[in-house]
A and B are shown apart, each in its own frame.
Chain A
Amino acid sequence: MSEWLESAIARAQGINDWLAPKRAHALELLANTKWPTRKTEAWRYTPLRPVERTQAKVITDKVELLPVAIAGLSAIELVFVNGQFDQTQLTKTLPEGVSISLGSDLDTAQQTEALHTFSTIKPERHIFGLVNDALAQDVVVVTVAEGVEVTQPIRISSLLSQGAESHTRVQVTLAAGSRLTVIEDVQAQGDSFNTAFVEYKVAANASLEHYRFALQTGSNVSIGGSHFSLHDHAKMHSTLVGFGSELSRLDTDIIHAGEFADAKLNAMYLLDGKELFDLHATVEHAMPNGKTEENVRCIVADRSRAIFNGRIHIHRDAQKTLAELNNRNLLLSDKAEINTKPELEIYADDVKCAHGATVAQIDKQALYYLQTRGVSRSKAQVMLNFGFINELIDLMPNAALAEWIRPIIRERFAQMEVK
């Protein structure tokens, strides 16, 4: 066990609040969990040295931090500053049928429900999910009532100041037939460390549009997860955009807990410098007739390292499942590294599953073609890289977000040192 984890456990032991049973359970599991090493499958390519060495500290003093503005987007703002839920920044008037509250403000019955409804984070796979269980200051509970279609997106921002440590946790429940858009966003300054987990329960016929932006770069350790459970005829469409940092690790876990659920995941990450980004996407088909489509694209430059693990697990009962995973990677430098592992684990016979993965560099002929048309080599490279990613941006259902992210990505490519 690492010193860091020992001190984290020691800190959690003193807390006595409504989350106490959850904390105690997490601590018990953590005590029996081995600290991940290179031999731990889930952390094979992602060394945890940055966590072991982190100097980040919990900052309790009030700090003024605001989430970056997104032009054309009017969202319900849900803001954490250094791990604390900032009530003052919460949008005052919420649309009808939407409630956002701190778990500690709920009544006992609601708290009990909040403690027990969500169990999508698998302790054996997510050691930092347990850390988050033990250390998150509170849980923010978001609910959308039955049949309510919320047009205004909810944006969950986790903001960290220099050297801050933060652990945030949100539970989102979409009742039957409801509709919601959620944007998860971490904005962290240097030398910070955060774990940010959001759990979603998408009830029958409900529909969730989801975005996760992990655009922090530099000396930041960011570990988090978005965990979804989908019930009968539920739909989700998730988009992930990631830039690497010293260590960025995200888990997207999707469970088809009902029949005829439909999940789409489009993820793209663009790494530069010495950044590392690790995405683990796990889809469990526990029920029949589910559908999953994943598109993951990744560009790595300079000395950066990208890790992707895409696991599709089809249980015995999940007949008639359609699942597809497409992973394409561009390697721009001879010091960069891509490690990808698309896995299929299938126990039902009447299913159609496929995955494909490619690793290559920019097509030399395409590059040559552009150069013959008078485009400089470096411009041509930016164009081709951008085109590769832009295909996924075009699939983002929210136009304002697509328009916002496009120039940011273009800028990122212009900065990337392409050899």
Chain B
Amino acid sequence: MTEQIDKALAREYEAGFVSDIESETFEPGLNENIIQRISAMKGEPEWMLEWRLSAFREWLAMEEPEWALVDYAKIDFQSISYYSAPKSMKDKPKSLDEVDPELLRTYEKLGIPLIEQQMLAGIAVDAVFDSVSVVTTFREKLEEAGVIFCPISEAVHKYPDLVKKYIGSVVPKKDNYYAALNCAVFTDGSFVYIPKGTRCPMELSTYFRINEQNTGQFERTLIIADEGSHVSYLEGCTAPQRDENQLHAAVVELVALDNAEIKYSTVQNWYPGDENGKGGIYNFVTKRGICHTNAKISWTQVETGSSVTWKYPSCILKGDNSVGEFYSVALTRGRQQADTGTKMIHIGKNTKSTIISKGISAGRSNNSYRGLVRMNPGAEGARNFTQCDSLLIGDQCGAHTFPYVESRNPSAIIEHEATTSKVSDEQMFLCRQRGLDPEKAVSMIVNGFCKEVFKELPMEFAVEAGKLLEISLEGSVG
């Protein structure tokens, strides 16, 4: 067994690191030297380093965005360490006894098997090894289909042409403040390429990607679906994840070439902070996909974690007849703040987009939908339907809607509707009359409220997401 563990440990070294991991945690600070060191650690080619440095120079001239309806202490970017090596076994908790019991209670409620619980809590046991073996069989199957699924740092070496061609093509380096920062300092993330006409034989999940642990706070994902291909990608997991990095600024780029389809599902449940909102994760993510002719991109997200969320998964509907979809459930409680939504940019003819957004606010939280639907002059016959519903639980929370609608084509049709209300007294009365306690009743009503979104999630995720909402709502009623 020890031999096997050693082997598993050795794997971490294989991931392209050039020097001794244990000693490599960078001192806080951000400058060109740090970026050069990150790049050197990954043994990156010259072009990648240049790309990072030019992004960094852009970033220096940019201003932190302040338009979102979120309020947090200013981030000191010089006090962050931009590279921290994976934790070695001996730093990790030895057993579940050392883990926050509150966390364990939640795992139990979610019905997570013991071994997975240990893995999620970051415990150094064979469980990690077990999952490695799962990953190996998994990889073989993908290779057979010709699908590339690997860490992006590996892709930079193995598939430089693909990376060079597509990285930054959907989210340009200077797109926004956090995206530029990510370009400069990203540590790792996923790279997926689905060859022409291929239907990916299984749902891809970050959970199964080796190297997933400690990809750090600046994750970068690039998914390319070549002509006529299909892929479903799952990100995150329902279990609350601990992470010592407070700032997360990820970038996700999707490229759906002609007739391709990408389905991207996210469940995000990072640490939301204590009851005063202290210590929670700041999640400032840029996610965007581009659809070529007849292509389709579908974003589904269930957001329950993080103390501050700033996230707008978007679609650029460039090709004719392309389709963009956005299904979202965002639940905030305690002192959480979420400003999330989507952008649908209609460029091609007969492009279609659907936006279904469900926001639930409880406690002292604030939950905003912010979206943009734009019909460019060429978007002949384009169509959008948007529905944003908000549910308020308690009188100390806030629910907001900021939809931007811009049309420059008379044949395009845009419909937007939004409602805000609380769980109605009639619904509660009906449930309680039938013997349900208030908490169960609210959870049931909320589940119904979110149904349109849950049905878009892959089966297994949908069940977990329902359970997750139930747990998140605990204590917010009455």
Contacts and interface: CB of A to CB of B under 8 A. Distances in A.
Interface of A: 41, 316, 319, 329, 331-361
Contacts of A349: 392-395, 397, 422
Contacts of B397: 347, 349
A334 B398 contact: no
Contacts of B403: 341-343, 357
Given A345-B400, A350-B422, A356-B416, 8 more contacts: A334-B411, A338-B405, A339-B407, A345-B401, A357-B403, A357-B405, A357-B414, A359-B405
Nearest to A362: B410
21 contacts: A316-B395, A316-B396, A319-B395, A331-B409, A334-B408, A334-B409, A337-B406, A339-B404, A339-B406, A339-B407, A341-B405, A342-B403, A344-B401, A351-B392, A351-B421, A353-B420, A354-B417, A354-B418, A356-B417, A357-B403, A357-B414
A319 B421 CA distance: 11
A354 B397 CA distance: 18
B418 A342 contact: yes
B420 A351 contact: yes
B416 A342 contact: yes
B415 interface: yes
B395 A348 contact: yes
A338 B406 CA distance: 6
B409 A340 contact: no
A298 to B, nearest CB: 11
A351 B407 CA distance: 31
Among A41, A340, A359, residue most surrounded by chain B Cβ atoms (within 10 Å): A359
Contacts of B412: 331, 359-360
Nearest to A419: B410
Interface in B371-428: 375, 377, 390, 392-422
B418 A339 contact: no
B478 to A, nearest CB: 14
B419 A354 contact: yes
Contact of A360 (B69, B392, B404, B413): B413
Main secondary structure, interface of A, reads strand
Contact of A336 (B390, B394, B410, B418): B410
B72 interface: no
B407 A329 contact: yes
Interface in B54-72: 67, 69
A357 B408 CA distance: 15
A354 B416 contact: no
A341 B413 CA distance: 16
Given A346-B399, A347-B398, A359 B414 contact: yes
B417 A340 contact: no
Nearest to A313: B400
B404 A361 contact: no
Contacts of B401: 342-345, 355
Contacts of A334: 377, 408-411
Contacts of B405: 338-341, 357, 359
Given A343-B401, A346-B390, A359-B413, A41 B67 contact: yes
A321 to B, nearest CB: 10
Contacts of A333: 410
B413 A344 contact: no
B408 A344 contact: no
Interface of B: 67, 69, 375, 377, 390, 392-422
Given A338-B406, A339-B404, A345-B400, A358 B422 contact: no
A346 B392 CA distance: 9
A350 B396 CA distance: 11
Nearest to A311: B402
A346 B361 CA distance: 11
A344 B414 contact: no
A115 B49 CA distance: 62
Nearest to B370: A343
A338 B397 CA distance: 33
Contacts of A319: 395
Contacts of A316: 395-396
B346 to A, nearest CB: 12
B419 A353 contact: yes
A341 B388 CA distance: 13
Nearest to B396: A316
A360 B394 CA distance: 38
B343 to A, nearest CB: 14
Contacts of B400: 343-346
A329 B398 CA distance: 29
Contacts of A331: 407-410, 412
Contacts of B420: 344, 346, 351-354
B418 A346 contact: no
Closest 9 CB pairs of A and B: A349-B392, A359-B414, A331-B410, A344-B401, A361-B410, A359-B407, A357-B416, A353-B420, A356-B417
A195 to B, nearest CB: 27
A341 B402 contact: yes
Contacts of A335: 377
A358 B419 contact: no
B281 to A, nearest CB: 24
A345 B414 CA distance: 22
A45 to B, nearest CB: 8
Nearest to B400: A345
A358 B418 contact: no
A358 B409 contact: no
A355 B399 contact: no
Contact of A358 (B394, B396, B411, B416): B416
Nearest to A349: B392
Contacts of A344: 390, 399-401, 418, 420
Contacts of A342: 401, 403, 416, 418
A97 B107 CA distance: 72
A358 B417 CA distance: 8
A243 B404 CA distance: 23
B421 A353 contact: yes
B21 to A, nearest CB: 44
Nearest to A305: B408
Contacts of A336: 408, 410
B174 to A, nearest CB: 15
B221 to A, nearest CB: 29
A358 B416 CA distance: 6
Nearest to B405: A340
Given A331-B409, A359-B412, A345 B398 contact: yes
A332 B395 contact: no
Contacts of B375: 359
Contacts of B393: 349
Among A41, A335, A349, residue most surrounded by chain B Cβ atoms (within 10 Å): A349
A349 B359 CA distance: 13
Contacts of A353: 419-421
A336 B403 CA distance: 20
Nearest to A360: B413
Contacts of B408: 331, 334, 336-338
Contacts of A337: 406-408
A359 B417 CA distance: 12
A358 B403 CA distance: 12
B415 to A, nearest CB: 5
Nearest to A344: B401
Contacts of B418: 342, 344, 354-356
B442 to A, nearest CB: 13
Contacts of B398: 345-347
A353 B396 CA distance: 17
Nearest to B390: A346
